[in-house]
Amino acid sequence: MNRLFCLALILLLSGCGAAPEPEQPATPAATDSAAPTAPKWEAAEGMEAPESVYVEPGSGTIFVSLIVGMPGEKDGNGRIAKLNADGTVVSTSWVTGLNAPKGLRSYQGTLWTADIDEIVGIEISTGKITSRVKIDGAQFLNDVATGPDGTVYVSDMLATKIYALKDGKASLFAEGEEMEYPNGLLVDNGKLVVGGWGKPEADFSTKVPGHLFTLDLTTKQKTLLTPDPVGNIDGLESDGKGGYLVTDWNAGKVMQVTSAGAVRTVRQFTQGTADHAFVAAQNLLIIPHMPENKVAAYDVTGSVE
């Protein structure tokens, strides 16, 4: 990737640059349920460029990665906030000393995050950083997923690669144009579900949208979940019904991809819907509105089928 391309992408992802509207594939018309609705709760104070929201199973504790600057800059300003299940803020600086943390996911008491070219492990009980694994050659580590065996999967969107971290050692899991500049990741039913951002053009006059697809954890075989491209996929979560909820950062959409591969718009927001969380038992969608410096929760009862 050339320097100009990387800078343009960083500006776009941070909401600091004016980019033309992306060319998106035709999607079903939004229903009334997709119209903006008042949030159930909202947290704004101290939420500087929130990129990822993660709800810890069991406790319901909410963690938010805060870039606090440019997504690709090693400035030491990045941090992670901690919220109660009802959205009240426990601390906006629960973990500090990061650069530009993005995806979040936990496994057996450790919260993992991707931080530009490092995979960082944090002890949830204390908030202390317990490990930092440098990924040589990484360009833009983004989302994080954890497998049932403790393997941590991390996407490198700019390098169109996916890494696997196991027992403190990182290895390349998959790479190439067929990874569609991967962003969102989720381990589900023995497969790694991947949200492709789609190839960004250097001048952003057009953007090739990405598919939602799976990679077999053993064979790494790719299988499309959507026959047509979905959009510039960022967040990826199970919908609790055999399908998935994905966000399109550029279009500001939250979409449901059913188990049959059908795509429908659940909510329409402004540009900047980043890596969301979804609590299926409550039909609660939690969105980091990255350029607006806020996190908000929405009741989507009746909208997720």
The CATH number of the domain holding residue 105 is 2.120.10.30
Find the distance separating the first CA and the last CA of the chain, reported in whole Å: 40
With respect to residue 134, please indicate whether it lies within any of the assigned structural domains: yes
With respect to residue 230, please indicate whether it lies within any of the assigned structural domains: yes
With respect to residue 291, please indicate whether it lies within any of the assigned structural domains: yes
Tokens of 289: 């509105």
Task: Report the pLDDT value the prediction gives residue 240, as an integer from 0 to 100.
Answer: 96
With respect to residue 33, please indicate whether it lies within any of the assigned structural domains: no
Q: Which amino acid is at 214?
A: T
Instruction: Count up the domains in the chain and report the number.
Output: 1
- How far apart CA 42 and CA 126 sit, in angstroms, is 26
Instruction: Report yes or no: 234 and 247 within 8 Å, Cβ to Cβ.
Output: yes
The pLDDT tens digits for 220-230 are 999 999 999 99
The pLDDT tens digits for 243-255 are 999 999 999 999 9
- How far apart CA 23 and CA 250 sit, in angstroms, is 10
Task: Report the pLDDT value the prediction gives residue 37, as an integer from 0 to 100.
Answer: 80
What confidence tier does 206 reach under pLDDT thresholds 50, 70, 90? low
Task: Report the pLDDT value the prediction gives residue 201, as an integer from 0 to 100.
Answer: 67
- How far apart CA 211 and CA 293 sit, in angstroms, is 28
Range of the domain at 85: 39-299
- How far apart CA 185 and CA 19 sit, in angstroms, is 25
Task: Report the pLDDT value the prediction gives residue 22, as an integer from 0 to 100.
Answer: 38
Task: Report the pLDDT value the prediction gives residue 305, as an integer from 0 to 100.
Answer: 85
- Mean pLDDT for the stretch of residues 127-131: 98
- Mean pLDDT for the stretch of residues 196-209: 72
Task: Report the pLDDT value the prediction gives residue 58, as an integer from 0 to 100.
Answer: 87
With respect to residue 203, please indicate whether it lies within any of the assigned structural domains: yes
Length of the chain: 305
With respect to residue 27, please indicate whether it lies within any of the assigned structural domains: no
Q: Who has greater pLDDT, 19 or 45? A: 45
Query: CA angle, 25 as apex, 190 and 7 as ends, to 5°?
Result: 80
The pLDDT tens digits for 76-125 are 999 999 999 999 999 999 999 999 999 999 999 999 999 999 999 999 99
Average pLDDT, the chain: 89
With respect to residue 11, please indicate whether it lies within any of the assigned structural domains: no
3-state secondary structure of 291: helix
With respect to residue 217, please indicate whether it lies within any of the assigned structural domains: yes
What confidence tier does 202 reach under pLDDT thresholds 50, 70, 90? low
What confidence tier does 64 reach under pLDDT thresholds 50, 70, 90? very high
This prediction has a pTM of 0.90
Count of CB atoms situated within 10 Å of the CB of 30? 15
Q: Who has greater pLDDT, 121 or 36? A: 121
Instruction: Report yes or no: 127 and 109 within 8 Å, Cβ to Cβ.
Output: no
Task: Report the pLDDT value the prediction gives residue 108, as an integer from 0 to 100.
Answer: 97
